[in-house]
Amino acid sequence: MSTEPDATVLDANAIAGLLAEVFAGAEMTSASRACQSCGQRRAIGEHRLYRGAGLVLRCPACNDIAMIMVEGDGWREVRTAGFWSLRVPGPAAA
């Protein structure tokens, strides 16, 4: 695809747009995730991003896998691990 080193580790902030696309417009970087390995709760934006054949997000505390995303022709598959907690705007109390 390019000669640039795609495997460089970034964080999920770099794919905030893609995450919004996948999660129906929701802002995911401020969602939090509790890791099933180390128990730490961190914002998705803090998770490390590894780019290879697909995208992998890893826990910033213990590096365990939080999400794997692969794309094919016309489809996208997302697998998540750990406990993801997302708060989105909803109807206000009357």
Partner 1 sequence: MAAAAPARIVWKMATVVELVEETAHARTLVLDVPDWPGHVAGQHLDVRLTADDGYQAERSYSVASPPEDDRVALTIERIDDGEVSPYLAGELEVGDRFEVRGPIGGHFTWRAAEGGPILLVAGGSGLVPLMAMLRHRARQGSHADARLLVSARALDALLYREELMRLDDARDGLSITYTLTRDRPERWTGYARRVDAEMLEAVGPAVANMPRVFVCGPTPFVESVADHLVALGHDAAAIHTERFGPTGG
Residues near partner 1, by CB under 8 A:
2-6, 8-11, 13-17, 20-21, 24-27, 29-30, 40, 42-46, 51, 88-90
Buried b (16+ CB within 10 A) or exposed e, 32-61: ebebeeeeeebbbbbbebbeeeebbbbbbe
Q: Rounded to the nearest whole angstrom, what is the least distance from the CB of residue 62 to partner 1 in the complex? A: 13
Q: Rounded to the nearest whole angstrom, what is the least distance from the CB of residue 1 to partner 1 in the complex? A: 9
Query: Toward partner 1, which CB reaches closer, 8 or 93?
Result: 8
Task: Report the C-alpha gap between 42 and 25 in whole angstroms.
Answer: 21
Q: Supply 1's token pair.
A: 């695809």
Q: Rounded to the nearest whole angstrom, what is the least distance from the CB of residue 79 to partner 1 in the complex? A: 22
Q: Rounded to the nearest whole angstrom, what is the least distance from the CB of residue 10 to partner 1 in the complex? A: 5
Task: Report the C-alpha gap between 76 and 94 in whole angstroms.
Answer: 39
Query: Toward partner 1, which CB reaches closer, 27 or 68?
Result: 27
